[in-house]
Structure 1
Amino acid sequence: MLQMLDQSAEHEEYSTAQSHSLPAYTTRHDTLFSLGRQHYVPVNNQRTNNLQQFDKMDTDLPWNYKILETDDEKEDDNNNNQEIQELDELILSQQLRELSTNTTHNEEVLMKDIKDEIEKIPNFLTKHNNSFKQILYQAQLLIKSTSPTTTVDIKQLREVAIIIYKIMIIQTYHLLWMAYLKSGRGELIISSETIPIWPKDITSLFKLNNTTNAHEIYLNFVNQQLHALDHQLNICKTGLNTKANNICGYSIMVQKIIDTYIEKHIQPFRLKTEHQTELIHYDYHIRTLKLQYIQHNPNQYQIEIMKKICQSKYEQETTEQEYNFLKQQIDYYNSPNQSFQHLPLAQATGIDTIENIEIRQQLLNQYKEVTLQVRDNLFPLYLTTAADQKEEFKKKYEENIKKLFTDGIFINGNRRLSLFLIEIMNQRCEKISERIKCVYKFKAQSTLLSTT
């Protein structure tokens, strides 16, 4: 995928993958992982274990990127010197030439990460994979049951499976890039007004400084990716038909066996891509609500209040979801089926290198006792700290909401307009909350897949 999409199964989110990311705060379950990690998300070495760093989170959230310029910003842009304007035009001209050149080579237009994902042969489709061997054997038996005299070459069936895999990957990417296109064309929400908003996944690929042709550049680029995906898809479909027709006795039932096997193994990839598509929808809604708010000409104070309320909601919902996620992990690690010898720590002590069996076993028992005791002491501490954080930010958000309805500066003047702005803020906070829940739902799904 795009490099930014990689950053996180956890997009998390914008950085990035994205790329787009959850706030740069940390939780103590990183250490929890180090004490009892077996199947869960890898530790982020850049994190610390200080929950208080949540207060230092980045306030430039994905939905706060500039959508509409204020009068002051427009005036600043008009005052840009000629050198900056000439540089923008030079960059734009170069990018347009590159795009124009690439359009003649569909197979070369695809971004490298996407192309690599399509072309690679995953381990579950290699000829040495035992599970894959069994699937091909089942397909072979099914063909022979309907065509007893047919000799089926396993190599042919494997080539068919690889093509089917490529088709599934391409189709998944196609859905993601269609979401990019609809967002950029303002078609994600059915309404009387078209509001084009390009996701940061796309805008971050280009270094454009307020150029008037940015929309056209993004549109051309995304359309080229979609055309390239269609081109690759047609090649694969043609290849599949050719391969299948060359196998006597090949049927829909045979392909179903192969389809089911591949579907199971690419489920993590599909979940990740579908999650990214969901985030595109949420970010579009959130940024559209911001635009609606700005269009009612709020004063600077009212703009700052909206940012403060939405930031407060982001903090409140994130700490609540993080607490729930941490609790799930602790419950998992405390479950009876999590035996010590299966934990990574049990394999990484260096004690196994001791030759004396009696001494080695004695040290292992001591190590196990100390490790489990430390873990049992830390788990409640982590959960209590996370609960405190959750309550702290919940209280902060509720206090901000109460102040909003009694804020004389905000309410005085056009009261009807003020109440309308508050309603837009409320809708925006709801979407922010839904987005964060979506992120943690994906985390839970990813964790479940990794343990099965």
Structure 2
Amino acid sequence: MFNKFEEHDAYPRSAITTTAQSHSLPAYTTRHDTLFSLGRQHYVPGNSQRTNDLQQFDKMDTDLPWNYKILETDDEEEEEEDDTENNQEIQELNELILSQQLGHLLTNTTHTEGHLMKDMKTEIEKIPNFLTKHNSSFKQMLYQAQLLVKSTSPTTTIDIKQLRDVAIIIYKMMILQTYHLLWTAYLKSGRGELIISSETIPIWPKDITSLLKVNKAINSHEIYLKFVNQHLHALDHQLNICKTELNTKANNIDGYSLMVQKIIDTYIEKHIQPFRLKIEHQIELIHYDCHIRILKLQYIQHNPNQYQIEIMKKICQNKYEQETTEQEYNFLKQQIDYYNSPNQSFQHLPLAQAAGIGTIENAEIRQQLLNQYKEVALNVRNNLFPLYLTTAEDQKEEFQKKFEENVKKVYTDDIFIDGNQNLSSTLIQIINQRCEKISERIKCIYKFKVQSTLLFD
């Protein structure tokens, strides 16, 4: 049964969010993992760091937060006491207890915040491979910057380590600024400033509410607000420290100029692009989540009956399944076209790495076994690709049909209309708007998948 103001999480969350018990997604969600194992070249870069980044991209959150408790109201109003003085004493006591609880919870957020800040500090303070002194492209960039410094100040003796220190500080600043954008989006959403509308509707993202298990009986808004502001202040503080360090180190280099810094900036921006894309994608999802939850709130504010609430959830879930299967089908087609393209040489695919064959000393036998293995492997792959595609297409059509039937049915459902044609029309309009945002969100997720894989191509 569905609760009027609370629905169960339908889809698994990842990364920063908590995992909810739910029914599993359609089978296609695991099929393309098998496809990857049958032939992935640019999808799994040789560099281990890139592989880890891409694995995180694949784990990006794909659930829809239409299942959140968005309306905090009591089902029954408190009865007024005839004794006004006694009622006032009770109210003062409740306020005192609330104040103590609030202070206790704000104190207890320190550990959670510290853990999260530790994760961000790890990203900020680590020295990535592309900034190590052994990286050839990094050394080449520093050499170019060094030549530019000497061209403007020929008598300057510049230690290449000075430029490397500058580059590391600039890297930290770029990471800090990117995180700042994410946490600013959290804050705007929580303040009701993320979506411009006729009324301010505060929506705290699931990323934040899942970190702080706040009792709904207290002022959770203030807890979340303090929590996010503390993180933003910490990021500002670290950014100011980096700015001071950058100015100090740059001033110690005769001939350092904006042109020199531009060379360093361009190099770093290129290499942190996957990280920035990931954060920008998270921010996009925050916008969609906010839209979707606001529409649910607007729906509930029309006081729908229990059946009308169930219909809304059912159709939204149908839309999720329909759009996901369609996008997954399109994504699968792109992958198959990629693996079947003429420029995909077999020996460069993970599929070609047959364990044990390469260790055979006899070159003639080794080549003979490799040829046999290649023939069998490609035959298996060529047989599986059409099967995957056919299965995905069947699922796409099945969920498309299911969604269209349920949408069509709701217009003539007497129980849904419930004798109020105007109200039911308004509810249907909100459902349609919500489905549209759900569709846009899923398209955004798959667009990011394509961008992130092409980035490593």
Shared fold, TM over 0.5:
yes
Instruction: Rate the CA distance shift 1:254–1:101 in 2: closer, same or farther, 3 A.
Output: same
- Aligned position for 1:132: 138
- Aligned position for 1:79: none
| Structure 2 residue identity aligned to 1:425 | I
Of the candidates 259, 264, 284, which is equivalent to residue 258 of structure 1?
A: 264
| Structure 1 residue identity aligned to 2:105 | Q
- What is the deviation of 1:89? 9.2
- Aligned position for 1:300: 306
2:325 match: secondary structure: helix
Maintained 8 Å contact 1:188/1:281: yes
Q: Structure 1: any 5+ residue segments left out of the alignment? A: 1-11, 44-58, 76-86
- What is the deviation of 1:110? 6.3
- RMSD, aligned CA: 2.8
For 2:427 and 2:361, how far apart are their aligned partners in 1?
73
- Aligned position for 2:37: 34
- What is the deviation of 1:313? 0.4
- Aligned position for 1:53: none
- What is the deviation of 1:38? 1.8
For residues 340-379 of structure 1, the aligned pairs below 5 Å read: 340-379=346-385
Instruction: Rate the CA distance shift 1:404–1:73 in 2: closer, same or farther, 3 A.
Output: farther
CA deviation string 1:347-386 (max 9, x = no partner) = 2422111122111111110000000011011101101110
Q: Structure 2: any 5+ residue segments left out of the alignment? A: 1-10, 45-50, 53-61, 79-96
Q: Does 1:391 align with 2:401?
A: no
- Aligned position for 1:15: 14
Maintained 8 Å contact 1:14/1:62: no
Maintained 8 Å contact 1:109/1:224: no
| Structure 2 residue identity aligned to 1:95 | L
Maintained 8 Å contact 2:41/2:348: yes
Q: Does 1:419 align with 2:425?
A: yes
- Aligned position for 1:24: 25
Maintained 8 Å contact 2:17/2:211: no
| Structure 2 residue identity aligned to 1:37 | R
CA deviation string 1:218-251 (max 9, x = no partner) = 1101000000000000000011011111000001
Maintained 8 Å contact 2:64/2:438: no
CA deviation string 1:323-342 (max 9, x = no partner) = 00010011110111111110
- What is the deviation of 1:93? 4.7
For 2:286 and 2:111, how far apart are their aligned partners in 1?
29
Q: Does 1:144 align with 2:154?
A: no
For 1:89 and 1:362, how far apart are their aligned partners in 2?
78
- Aligned position for 1:95: 105
Instruction: Rate the CA distance shift 1:101–1:448 in 2: closer, same or farther, 3 A.
Output: closer
CA deviation string 1:55-114 (max 9, x = no partner) = xxxx98422211115765999xxxxxxxxxxx99987554322457999xxxx6961110
- Aligned position for 1:236: 242
For 2:206 and 2:252, how far apart are their aligned partners in 1?
45
- Aligned position for 2:447: 441
- Aligned position for 1:291: 297
For residues 178-189 of structure 1, the aligned pairs below 5 Å read: 178-189=184-195
Maintained 8 Å contact 2:190/2:225: yes
Of the candidates 43, 50, 62, which is equivalent to residue 65 of structure 2?
A: 62
Maintained 8 Å contact 1:38/1:344: yes
For 1:282 and 1:20, how far apart are their aligned partners in 2?
20
For 1:15 and 1:73, how far apart are their aligned partners in 2?
36
- Aligned position for 1:206: 212
For 2:369 and 2:222, how far apart are their aligned partners in 1?
67
Identity %: 79
CA deviation string 1:409-436 (max 9, x = no partner) = 1123121111011000000000000000
Maintained 8 Å contact 1:110/1:228: no
Q: TM-score scaled to structure 2, two decimals?
A: 0.85
